[in-house]
């Protein structure tokens, strides 16, 4: 142990607070692990990372599972804090920065695929739903209209149950 001892500290760390740890989404994976998914519109703060670490700790302790946190971030900043170092412990989250994706390219590619008579895959349907959070030159109004057009043209080919399951199983970052 490095350093000089100043004094003995309490060994009981009882923290009793009635409340809920409300995470945005948790997914149980086929390998038995869990993925914790959070949506953030701002840059990630130290407080955010501490809260996510607490979610993971409580879930891991309560259910006996390994948990990884993924943060879907829509902030415009290019550098997003993704780790918290405290003592010898380093906590990390995986950041999915939506502004790294170009909605114009995605919309154009999927429209071309549909014009060629090809059907969209589940992952592509999810990408269409997320285009309003992405970067691009297209105005939000045009982006939303064209994305809705893509989804409407796909409607007759996709089973309704499959559409509902799409957001649960096809997130490319899971």
Mapped onto helix, strand or coil, the DSSP state of residue 77 is coil
pLDDT of residue 170: 46
**pLDDT tens, residue by residue, 135-160:** 999 999 999 999 999 999 988 777 66
The neighbour count for residue 41, using CB atoms within 10 Å, is 11
Both tokens of residue 129?
């739903």
Residue with tokens 């390219």: 105
- Give Cα separations from 62 to 53, 58, 157 (angstroms): 14, 6, 41
Give the pLDDT band of residue 167 (cuts 50, 70, 90): very low
Cα torsion for 90, 94, 95, 100, to the nearest 10°? 130
**CA count, 13 A, side-chain hemisphere, 47:** 3
**Which of 140, 112, 110 shows the shortest CA–CA distance to 126?**
110
**Angle at CA 107, nearest 5°, toward 115 and 162?**
80
**pLDDT tens, residue by residue, 92-126:** 999 999 998 999 999 999 999 999 999 998 889 88
């Amino acid at each position: 142990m490095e350093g000089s001892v100043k004094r003995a500290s309490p060994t009981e760390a009882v923290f009793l607070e009635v409340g809920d740890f409300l995470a945005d989404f948790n997914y149980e994976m086929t390998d038995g692990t869990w993925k914790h998914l959070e949506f953030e519109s701002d840059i990630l703060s130290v407080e955010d990372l501490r809260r996510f670490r607490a979610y993971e700790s409580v879930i891991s302790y309560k259910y006996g599972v390994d948990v990884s946190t993924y943060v879907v971030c829509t902030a415009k900043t290019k550098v997003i804090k993704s780790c918290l170092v405290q003592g010898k412990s380093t906590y990390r989250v995986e950041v999915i920065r939506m502004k790294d994706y170009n909605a114009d390219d995605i919309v154009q590619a999927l429209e071309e695929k549909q014009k060629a008579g090809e059907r969209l895959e589940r992952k592509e349907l999810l990408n269409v739903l997320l285009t309003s959070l992405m970067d691009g030159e297209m105005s939000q109004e045009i982006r939303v209209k064209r994305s809705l057009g893509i989804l409407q043209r796909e409607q007759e080919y996709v089973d309704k149950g499959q559409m509902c399951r799409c957001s649960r199983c096809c997130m490319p970052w899971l």
